[in-house]
A and B are shown apart, each in its own frame.
Chain A
């Protein structure tokens, strides 16, 4: 057989391998029919190429699974993460808080046992079981026992027992047979033997540095198929078990986020009276088992953090992996030095919890004390800020061709609303997300091919819960420059508010509105000093020139320096204006003062008004707030409503953004409010 120098070995797919074999066979004369599909040689080449391809594919998959970045199987990813000392987060049981009142109790005290069951109302057609996770005892007063602020967790309690037998299970690893375990609820107790009922409680080991041969700890890891495994110490790192020990394990198996929002609970178990449940919060803060992509993302960061919180990523990782049962959607962290003005020595953290708007003060405190403080640098003070939501309100108009679809206009309208809501849920609703009108148009266009054209008006909203009957300042930062509006289409509020006339508790006005009054934009707003100069013996003359008329200003001199220049008349019709500073007559020493002008337009104001008995619009307070158009900030000063006319007590202030790209940074979240039916309005016209 002749030498063939053209043999290729780098191809991996079947056809290329077979072609390479044919190229190889061209170098010989004995078998010539390699090129014909019916030949016997072709069958042999098929076998060879198939075998080579098979091995190449297998090696490729083995190669993939060998690295955390490329592994596709959960067991491989988890195994790689294990080398980085990372245990994937389990499902987290959503928690709800209730007040439980039990009537008709005859005993002097009543105990609410662990795992007392409650049934929730249906969420998406499923009633979920919630259980208590600890024991509470209260005294009974007049036959009634009251359990305040009881936390109940969604899940089914499971208890298992294993007998230690090193002859059958050498590694003494006990697999827990449920995937959706909330591992924070695992309780492990070890009984000495079947005849000796002494129980010891073992805790989860999280720091091997503190372990010795008598530490009663267990270790947790995720095994194959996503099942969790527990194992015990070897007698050096943690106390080891001996044959005959009985390991009792209990935990909750939860449905994770599926039960978020469950409410209106009913007591299922009999605890010695009639239970009346008053729900304080609906179920929230649940989570699902950590996904493969999340493990790939978190494990190296957890390793890099080395159990310390120093960089932004350290904080984010530590908070997302908290052991406090808090399901967290998104975390934003920044240093106080980035604030305006800077606040040194502080780290600011903003957290969007799963299923609710903000953490309670108690939860924030728990996070700081139990999660952040043990990891952070000693002198750095963590501060948790609530997310600051900027809501986007969309007013969509769509023209569609009714010959191209079987859908009715209301079905098209519904599908556009649904598509925009899912865009909001997936693209917005987290820190550092960006709303873009272009994205909205592409979402609308993809809803149905019959949609010919669409237009969309974007407004931004802030929602506040004013403290009633207390005069306060509210600063609403929209995070985007605002357009100057006119009466009725500028900044306004919904719903109406109740307000005492002139802040005197005599006449209560039931329906008070807020509207924008734009300042005239053609005068001189202010003068800023660049250099105060020196040696002025008298006040210099300030002259304003430009294409408008009437603007005047006066300077104030202190110790020979011009400390300020005040506009006394803004003038009108300026599109550009210049400032000249001339020494007063007789002042030969003063020099070097320089300053610049700002034209009007940065600010507008808000006023409140009502309709009197004769339905005449009457101004209540001509200056209830200020609008800073450039910085997108609306400030309500001395705002003191008596009531907000909706059930939530929530006041919405709507403004028009100058740009339709709205970014969020730090603790700001841009979103479309899923709970507000007016947040997306769609009008559909048939062509």
Chain B
């Protein structure tokens, strides 16, 4: 064998070896991905971790981190998901990947209802010139953040920046319009005890509130008129004021509960029937 042939042989064997190495990592990746696609997330994470352990060149590091993060997200383990997405972001190679991963982190913050974090991250994305062409997507997730924060008016604003006829713009506007005004309920009850409860449809509670406030008010005023000042003050403080304050609390409580019901109807629709991209 000539020297040239020897070197050629060594080179070819080395190339063959590398291609075998890439093959078994690729097969391991396929195995892990298959488990992930079958929603067997715990075992998928095991196989991705195995891949990472043997992938000494870190070829699959970013993509496997991302899939581990997705698996944790689908298992409801949001903190671990954020950690792995952050690792994936650190190890990612291009700005499209970075953007996609940042949005994934935003989506997890939306599901966790850590609104402050989600808005801060979205704000950073809006201000970053690299993604000036992705404003629609950023606004979309801003809208979702506000939906999960139960701020449907702000959600309407964000979705309307994408399109005034967007399905979610209309849904958020409808939800917001259906809601009761908590402030109005309280003010109505300040002026007339029980009025706030009437506004929210709790008639019996409203009538009873009115009755109690009228009764104790009468007794208290009557006592004061008859110069039984101590009696009047005791009744006013321990009974009249107690029921009046309770009336205000109920006005707020019923409005908040009704609004919660309205929000949950829309959230339930979004969870089970909405066909677009969800957090």
Whether chain B is bound by chain A comes out as no
List A residues at the B interface (Cβ < 8 Å).
none
List B residues at the A interface (Cβ < 8 Å).
none
